[in-house]
Amino acid sequence: MSLLITNIAELMTQDAERRVLKDAAVVVEGERISWIGQAADAPAADTVHDAQGRALLPGWVDSHTHLVFAGDRTAEFEARMAGESYSAGGIGVTMNATRAATDAELLELARARRAEALRGGTTYLEAKTGYGLSTEHEAAIARVTSQVADEVTFLGAHLVPKGAEPEAYVDEVVGPMLAAVAPHAQWADVFCERGAFDEAQSRRVLEACAAAGLKLRVHGNQLGPGAGVRLAVELGAASVDHVNYLEDADVLALAQSWDQYDGGRGPRGTVATCLPACDLSTREPLAPARRLLDAGVQVAIASNLNPGTSYTSAMNYCVTTAVLQMGLSVHEAVRAATFGGALALHREVGDDVDGRRAVGSIAVGHRADLHLLNAPSATHLAYRPGMPLTHAVWQAGAQVV
Ligand SMILES: N=CN[C@@H](CCC(=O)O)C(=O)O
Ligand SMILES: [Zn+2]
């Protein structure tokens, strides 16, 4: 079955040439984009969707979520709004609530959140473990996560649980916990921050996970300057996330990591993933996305959905914030939330590579993940902040919204 989406006022492809087409059309065959071009030149298809002058973007690629948890942290949020600062310790509150839930309850909660994200235009999503913090609970959460997320990240090194001795806990993370979770995960992450894991502990976790075949990502430089960015670049992590507190040397290292990049055929560098909703909720300085882009760093924008620092999956809101408060153009912000997220997950290139297609851009051969706005241009995301602009969504060629 083929589908022609026509009468698109603005088609923001986020493809290699960063093309933005006016009066455009897209043809989808099965799960795959098979044609893009001017509406007047479009081939016939089995069915037609008249976009009626709306804007079409790639579906959002949310490359940083903590989708699987129970409970909420309203009281902590209220305290923060009253002037308290965020600390990693709150993770323990969610650990207790999550351990108390059954796997079936966690799956139901996560499925509801995944559906909410999809309704907001998120067609591809990464999710982390990290609220189990024991071998048994991390393995259970990894199994649940693999049923709802497109990419699964092992984050046993999220917090040393209360009562545990840090080095003994790291021994567990790199030993039995890693062995139990690795079959369900593609990625490993560590919260390299004061109050969580120091540089040596983070390095140990990341090296062990890499040796077990997991690709790397890092939570770093969120609450103050630190080793996260440096470690991520040194170990070839796909992404370092938060990046609120950066020294010039961090920005330089991130930029240099992209020196050899040739569009995905050779090695990739380390993406800097900015989490605007989290920055606002924690009242941390916004990540310096403008400075990073100007330095030549590849940037992603993600939701960081979690009950502590960012209880939202609204990527429209993250993009709006990036434009209004972080100094990005609309095109740059949309790129970071689509192509940038895909790059941070090594999914930005490929026409049926290992049975999977590229996501995060609209190009022939890529997965037909499409987001139709109820607006004539993507500019309206920032121009009409907070308005419900998601009109229709296709995921792998199927209309889901
Ligand atoms: N920074 C570490 N982890 C989460 C917060 C987790 C929590 O507080 O529950 C984050 O990305 O912000
Ligand atoms: Zn996070």
**Residue whose CA is closest, atom 11 of ligand 1?**
304
Q: What distance in angstroms lies between residue 127's CA and the mean position of ligand 2's atoms? A: 9
Residues 114-169: pLDDT tens digits? 999 999 999 999 999 999 999 999 999 999 999 999 999 999 999 999 999 999 99
Residues 261-300: pLDDT tens digits? 998 778 999 999 999 999 999 999 999 999 999 999 999 9
Question: Does ligand 1 come within 6 angstroms of the Cβ of 321?
Answer: no
Q: What distance in angstroms lies between residue 304's CA and the mean position of ligand 1's atoms? A: 8
Q: HEC string of the chain?
A: CEEEEEEEEEEECCCCCCCEEEEEEEEEECCEEEEEEEHHHCCCCCEEEEEEEEEEEECEEECCECCCCCCCCHHHHHHHHCCCCCCHHHHHHHHHHHHHCCHHHHHHHHHHHHHHHHHCCEEEEEEECCCCCCHHHHHHHHHHHHHHCCEEEEEEECCCCCCCCHHHHHHHHHHHHHHHHHHHCCEEEEEECCCCECHHHHHHHHHHHHHCCCEEEEEECCCCCCCHHHHHHHCCCCEEEECCCCCHHHHHHHHHCCCCCCCCCCCCCCEEEECHHHHHHHCCCCCCHHHHHHCCCCEEECCCEECCCECCCCHHHHHHHHHHHHCCCHHHHHHHHCHHHHHHCCCCCCCCECCECCCCCCCCCCECCEEEECCCCCCHHHHCCCCCCEEEEEECCEECC
Residues 62-84: pLDDT tens digits? 999 999 999 999 999 999 999 99
Question: Does ligand 1 come within 6 angstroms of the Cβ of 338?
Answer: no
Q: What number is the average pLDDT over the span 188-211? A: 98
- Please tell me whether the interface predicted TM-score (ipTM) of this complex is above 0.95: yes
Residues of the chain with CATH 2.30.40.10: 2-58+360-399
The CATH-assigned architecture of domain 2-58+360-399 is Roll (2.30)
Q: Is 222 annotated as a binding residue?
A: yes
pLDDT-based confidence at residue 377 (cuts at 50, 70, 90): very high
Ligand nearest to the CA of residue 310, numbered in listed order: 1
Question: Does ligand 1 come within 6 angstroms of the Cβ of 306?
Answer: yes
**Residue whose CA is closest, atom 12 of ligand 1?**
309
Cα–Cα distance between 90 and 88 in angstroms, integer?
Answer: 6
Q: Is 49 annotated as a binding residue?
A: no
Question: Does ligand 1 come within 6 angstroms of the Cβ of 98?
Answer: no
Question: Does ligand 1 come within 6 angstroms of the Cβ of 222?
Answer: yes
Question: Does ligand 1 come within 6 angstroms of the Cβ of 94?
Answer: yes
Residue of 158 and 352 predicted with greater confidence? 158
Ligand nearest to the CA of residue 192, numbered in listed order: 1
Residue 331: the pLDDT is 98
Q: What number is the average pLDDT over the span 74-96? A: 96
Query: Ligand 1, residues 158, 193, 218, 283: which to mutate, most atoms within 8 A of Cβ?
Result: 158
Residues of the chain with CATH 3.20.20.140: 60-344
Atom of ligand 1 nearest to the CA of 278: 12
Do 82 and 155 touch, CB atoms closer than 8 A? no
pLDDT-based confidence at residue 354 (cuts at 50, 70, 90): confident
Do 290 and 326 touch, CB atoms closer than 8 A? yes
Q: pTM of the predicted model, to two decimals? A: 0.98
CATH of domain 60-344: 3.20.20.140
Q: Is 73 annotated as a binding residue?
A: yes
Q: What distance in angstroms lies between residue 376's CA and the mean position of ligand 2's atoms? A: 33
Q: Is 386 annotated as a binding residue?
A: no
Cα–Cα distance between 202 and 98 in angstroms, integer?
Answer: 24
